[in-house]
């Protein structure tokens, strides 16, 4: 295949407006030219760096003027906005904690700017505030999502998730585009992503936004593979799952998810060495170096389950690529872009490349690349898509 020409001004996979001979806008193609301008802005945004921060306790929700990217992840919800030379992201913990209702406690919560709502005889404490409470009570926060989608075990999960989203995004009348991340259909579970998507879409619409979903693997591609004409494989390895998308010229050809991620590593290592998963998570996030020889049994088990996760992911990728009937005839070698918190430890790229040599993918891989800012990649990619979708 001929080398792809670098394109400015359009996502190569999208319908570019036919140019008039003089390249002057005609009445008929004025709308198409506006689309091209949006796409140009989106392409520029994909080259910008991210400035990220945590949502502060007591901070009110924003009312964005402009398109928004929203990563609705098992561990975190991240909102991205285009802001001059950078992309700004704000992240909120996707967790909650319940405490018994009392008028006195309510006064204290309000005075301390804690995000919460009350239902029945309980207060539901939201986001980062919930983590502080859980630490104080020496227990775990509860999650609204499990393995990448709405938890079926939490009756209040939907209301809590909606409240956490509204701690980032305020009600508006501006109908701004919000492009939110959606997992691919899991190959190893019977979970319904359709239900998850509909609930989130309805809620964002009720807040006054124009919601559009983007596959999480494709979001990685939109964020990281602009210089490759948005052609390659994007893999987001998060807390609850790994999302994979193969895209050709920004068009998703194949996507799927496996319902294993960082949480799986924490649980399996914890069960193997007899330690709580939360302690394993702290060690993993704090000091794990996959490039060095393990010093104790926790590090040994972390190494083992990292290899296990990557090998499960790559074996599934091999199987999906070999059995799909949608595979385009790609002769060029494809890059793989990796994002999500699970790719953060030192030595992860080498471990992944080692795993890659053990499988026999039906496409050639040119290189493996770790995203610039793995925890914010999905939100950034979703925002790039949102910019191109603006009216």
Ligand X SMILES: Nc1ncnc2c1ncn2[C@@H]1O[C@H](COP(=O)(O)OP(=O)(O)OP(=O)(O)O)[C@@H](O)[C@H]1O
Binding residues for ligand X, rule: CB under 6 A, are 71, 73-76, 148, 236, 238-241, 261-263, 281, 284-285, 340-342, 344-345, 375
Which residues 6+ apart lie within 8 Å of 267 measured at CB?
277
Is residue 240 a contact residue for Mg ion (CB under 5 A)?
no
If DSSP codes are grouped into helix, strand and coil, which group holds residue 297? helix
Return the range that interacts with Mg ion (CB under 5 A); candidates 10-18, 58-66, 232-240, 290-298.
232-240
Report strand pairing: 95-100 vs 116-119. unpaired
Q: Which two tokens stand for residue 185?
A: 């259909």
Is residue 262 a contact residue for Mg ion (CB under 5 A)?
no
Report strand pairing: 86-93 vs 76-83. antiparallel
Count CA within 13 A, CB hemisphere, residue 81. 13
Select the binding partner of residue 342 from ligand X, Mg ion, none (C-beta < 5 to 8 A, by kind): ligand X
Calpha distance 151→125 (Å, rounded): 17
Least gap, CB of 208 to ligand X (angstroms)? 25
Residues recorded for the chain: 391
Name the one residue in this structure whose structure tokens are 């996979």. Answer: 13
Least gap, CB of 257 to Mg ion (angstroms)? 10
> Count residues contacting Mg ion (CB under 5 A)?
2
Q: Which is nearer to ligand X, 285 or 364 (CB)?
A: 285
Select the binding partner of residue 156 from ligand X, Mg ion, none (C-beta < 5 to 8 A, by kind): none
Q: Which is nearer to ligand X, 36 or 375 (CB)?
A: 375
Q: Which is nearer to Mg ion, 127 or 238 (CB)?
A: 238
Least gap, CB of 62 to Mg ion (angstroms)? 21
Q: Which two tokens stand for residue 309?
A: 């996760």
Select the binding partner of residue 240 from ligand X, Mg ion, none (C-beta < 5 to 8 A, by kind): ligand X
- Site residues for Mg ion, 68-97, by CB under 5 A, read 73
Select the binding partner of residue 64 from ligand X, Mg ion, none (C-beta < 5 to 8 A, by kind): none
Calpha distance 154→144 (Å, rounded): 7
CA distances from 53 to 61, 88, 92, 115 (A): 14, 8, 9, 18
Is residue 234 a contact residue for Mg ion (CB under 5 A)?
no
Q: Which is nearer to ligand X, 76 or 142 (CB)?
A: 76
Which residues 6+ apart lie within 8 Å of 30 measured at CB?
none
Select the binding partner of residue 250 from ligand X, Mg ion, none (C-beta < 5 to 8 A, by kind): none
Q: Which is nearer to Mg ion, 238 or 381 (CB)?
A: 238
Least gap, CB of 147 to ligand X (angstroms)? 8
Calpha distance 209→203 (Å, rounded): 9
Least gap, CB of 109 to ligand X (angstroms)? 26
Candidates 243, 171, 223, 212; CA nearest to 386 is 212
Calpha distance 164→317 (Å, rounded): 33
Least gap, CB of 378 to ligand X (angstroms)? 6
Calpha distance 195→197 (Å, rounded): 6
Contact 115, 129 (CB under 8 A): yes
Q: Which is nearer to Mg ion, 238 or 270 (CB)?
A: 238
Point out which residues bind Mg ion (CB under 5 A): 73, 238
């Amino acid at each position: 295949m001929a080398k792809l020409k670098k394109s400015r001004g359009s996502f190569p996979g999208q319908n570019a407006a036919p140019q008039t001979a003089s390249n002057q806008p005609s009445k008929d193609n004025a709308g198409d030219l506006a689309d091209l301008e949006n796409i140009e802005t989106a392409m520029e945004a994909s080259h910008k760096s991210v400035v990220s921060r945590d949502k502060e306790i007591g901070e009110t929700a924003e009312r964005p003027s402009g398109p928004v990217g929203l990563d609705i992840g098992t561990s975190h919800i991240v909102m991205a906005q285009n802001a001059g030379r950078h992309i700004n992201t704000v992240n909120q913990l996707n967790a909650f904690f319940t405490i018994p209702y009392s008028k006195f406690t309510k006064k204290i919560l309000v005075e301390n700017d804690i995000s919460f709502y009350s239902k029945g005889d309980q207060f539901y404490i939201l986001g980062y505030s919930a983590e502080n409470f859980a630490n104080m009570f020496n227990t775990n926060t509860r999650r609204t999502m499990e393995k990448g989608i709405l938890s079926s075990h939490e009756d209040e999960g939907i209301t809590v998730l909606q409240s956490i989203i509204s701690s980032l995004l305020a009600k508006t009348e501006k109908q701004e585009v919000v492009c939110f991340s959606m997992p691919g259909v899991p190959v190893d579970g019977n979970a319904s992503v359709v239900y998850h998507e509909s609930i989130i879409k309805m809620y964002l619409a009720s807040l006054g936004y124009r919601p559009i979903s983007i596959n999480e693997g494709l979001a990685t591609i939109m964020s990281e593979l602009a210089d490759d004409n948005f052609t390659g494989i994007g893999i987001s390895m998060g807390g609850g799952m790994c999302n994979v998308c193969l895209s050709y010229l920004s068009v998703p050809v194949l996507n799927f998810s496996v319902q294993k991620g960082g949480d799986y590593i924490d649980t399996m290592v914890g069960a193997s060495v007899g330690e709580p998963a939360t302690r394993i998570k702290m060690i993993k996030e704090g000091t794990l170096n996959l490039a060095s020889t393990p010093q104790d049994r926790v590090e040994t088990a972390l190494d083992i389950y990292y290899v296990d996760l990557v090998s499960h992911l790559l074996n599934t990728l091999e199987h999906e690529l070999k059995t799909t009937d949608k595979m385009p005839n790609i002769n060029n070698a494809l890059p793989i872009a990796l994002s999500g918190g699970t790719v953060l430890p030192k030595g992860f790229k080498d471990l992944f490349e080692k795993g890659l040599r053990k499988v026999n993918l039906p496409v050639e891989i040119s290189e493996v690349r770790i995203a610039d800012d793995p925890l914010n990649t999905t939100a950034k990619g979703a925002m790039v898509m949102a910019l191109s979708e603006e009216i």
